[in-house]
Structure 1
Amino acid sequence: MHIQWYPGHMTKTRRMMEETISLVDIVIELVDARIPYSSKNPDLDELAKNKFRIMLMNKSDLADPAATAVWTKYFEDKGFRVIEMNALKGTGMGEVTNAARELMAEKIEKLRKRGRINVPIRAMIAGIPNVGKSTFINKYVGKTTAKTGDKPGVTRGKQWIKLKKDFELLDTPGILWPKFEDQQVGLKLAFTGAINDDILDAQTLATEFINHMMVVNPECIRQRYGISFDTIAEPHEVLCQIAEARGFKLKGNEPDLERAAKILMDEYRGGKLGRITLELPEDITEMLAEKEQREKEKAKADRERKAEYKKKKN
């Protein structure tokens, strides 16, 4: 399943972020705690390389707490201030302003000594589509300021939000990156709903999810649907069992796999399969090592082709 989704408005968003990044002191990025690496936009590391960084691990209530702790340390070691949160319930919300003030304390003191007081902290809020950014802002501000929606890509333009006299927030539309380095990243984004379901095949997505869960946590599927299978079972057969268990039938008594697929993904996203994290730092290390090896092999093949061409030309 090849996934690529980069609507035109996201290109405009990236350009806008490049133009406005100089106006902010801090970049606050929301990631999905179930897929912290895959839901983190790598473009921001270059755009915000000279800015303070706060990472909000949203939907932490849906992720494995032990895995979230591992990810927190991973990103803290890279210089991020990490806050676990649940934007819907407001958990962790109060830590954001405090963290921003702590990061800016030295700069604010220097400005105060130069006679500049009440200079507001300016932060940019960023995140991929459907990660909960608008929900966070609405809860953070205390009123419905940013639009929210079940489908990715609702926020379309930038907007400054004044929270207090000393804190201003620049909201940006959800943004992905033009090309996923690894298709596993695209799949995990699709699993959690960050990519519009309308462009995906439900059955293929569900079987890919089952295949991933065979490694991560097959027991959660067995328990949720009361079915039995081993970890070498065909994902399609597992989906058939889910349809049978739920009584989803088509004419001719055939299992309704489309309905079963949509129910499986909806229930995963709603936390009904349990608190499941789909990746760990060690998985990413392995993925990056494989990527490096592929690049080395490609570079070697390119050199050999050039040498062969040069030899023939001479």
Structure 2
Amino acid sequence: MSINWFPGHMTKTRREIKESLKLVDLVIEIRDARIVKSSANPEIESICKDKPRIILLNKSDLSEQSITKAWINNLTNENIRVLQINSLNGEGLKDIKPMIEDLLREKIDRWKAKGLKNFVIRGMVVGIPNVGKSSFINKMAKNNIAKTGDRPGVTKSKQWIKTKLGIELLDTPGILWPKFEDEEVALNLAFTGAIKDEIMNTEDLALKLVERLQKDYGDRIKERYKIDDLDEEPINNLDLIAKKRGAIASGGSIDYNRVSIMLLDEFRGGKLGKISLEKP
């Protein structure tokens, strides 16, 4: 499967993030709760280094809760706090300020010791495309300042956003990394829409998704598409899904493009249930 997608503006974004670190007190990294490892940009890890960081596991309503909690325990340390959120309905956002204050306790105490009262905490929001950064910022600001969209790369330039919590957020464009060393990571990003569908073969991607789901979530496929028994071969299961949904072309052949788009849309929309593609 050929994946060639690294746009030039991401090189500029990487440089801007590095330059902006000195302007902020902490980094707020947003990941997809369904693919916590794959949605963690290694560039962010190296750029941010020892900067205090909060990792927000967004879209947690689409992931398995037990696995999400295991990720929280796995990633939390002295310099990093982890919180599961849903940036669309605001679930978990009320816990962000107390978590930030705990993470920055020493710095805040120094500010207070100097007599500073109305100080503003500044955080830089980072994450890969289509992980929900703009929706998070809009919810925090309670208005649609940041542009949102279900297509990767909607946010093009950095901007400061004020919130009512005494926190200012620096929005940055989504950044991916130049090369995928692991095909599984690339597939996970493609499954969840972090990589633009236009550069992928949708039919191949849907087939890979069936292959992945039938291993750990076969019951979800059977329940959603009213299938009695799954075959060992993913292509046969994709055929079964197509027949159940009427994705049949003229002459009775399978309309693979139609069934592939439908399957990916339903997975991304959570219609197959809560699914986590990675475990810690």
**TM bracket (short chain):** over 0.9
The offset of 1:229, in angstroms, is 4.2
Contact conserved, 1:224 with 1:273, CA < 8 A, in 2? yes
Matches of 1:185 and 1:178, distance apart in 2:
13
| Offset of residue 230 of structure 1 | 4.1
Residue type of the alignment partner of 2:254: P
Name 2:267's counterpart in structure 1. 268
* Aligned partner letter, 2:246: G
The residue matched to 1:194 in structure 2 has which SS? coil
Identity within the alignment, % = 49
Q: In 1, Cα distance between the equivalents of 2:168 and 2:26?
A: 10
Match of 1:23 in 2: 23
Q: Determine which structure has the larger helix proportion and give its number.
A: 1
Distance in 1 between residues matched to 2:209 and 2:102, nearest whole Å = 41
| CA shift for structure 1 position 82 | 1.0
> Distance between the aligned counterparts of 2:197 and 2:228, measured in 1?
28
Instruction: Check the 8 A contact 2:125/2:170 in 1, yes or no.
Output: yes
SS at match of 1:82: strand
Q: Is the 8 A contact 2:50 2:79 kept in 1?
A: no
Letter in 2 for 1:10: M
Q: Which residue of 2 aligns with 1:239?
A: 238
Q: 1:97: how far off?
A: 1.8
Which 5+ residue runs of structure 2 have no aligned equivalent?
none
Gapped regions of structure 1 (runs ≥ 5): 282-314
Q: Distance in 1 between matches of 2:229 and 2:258?
A: 20
CA contact (8 A) 1:4 1:186 kept: no
Match for residue 134 of structure 1?
Answer: 134
**Aligned counterparts of 2:219 and 2:185: Cα–Cα separation in 1:** 23
Residue matched to 1:155: 155
In the alignment, which residue of structure 2 is the partner of 1:168? 168
Paired residue for 1:197? 197
Query: Post-superposition shift, 1:248?
Result: 1.4
CA–CA distance in 1 between the matches of 2:278 and 2:215? 11
Distance in structure 1 (CA, Å) of the matches to 2:175 and 2:104: 26
How far off is 1:111 after superposition? 2.4
Stretch of structure 1 that moved more, 156-165 or 15-24: 156-165
TM-score by length of 1: 0.85
Match of 1:106 in 2: 106
For residues 60-99 of structure 1, the C-alpha deviation after alignment (integer angstroms, 9 at most, x for no partner) is 0000111111111111147421111111111011111221
* Pair 1:207–1:78, CA change in 2 (3 A): farther
C-alpha root-mean-square deviation of aligned residues, in Å? 1.5
* 1:44 corresponding residue in structure 2: 44
TM-score (norm 2): 0.95
1:228-253 Cα shifts (integer Å, max 9, x gaps): 4446x222211111111111111111
Aligned length: 280
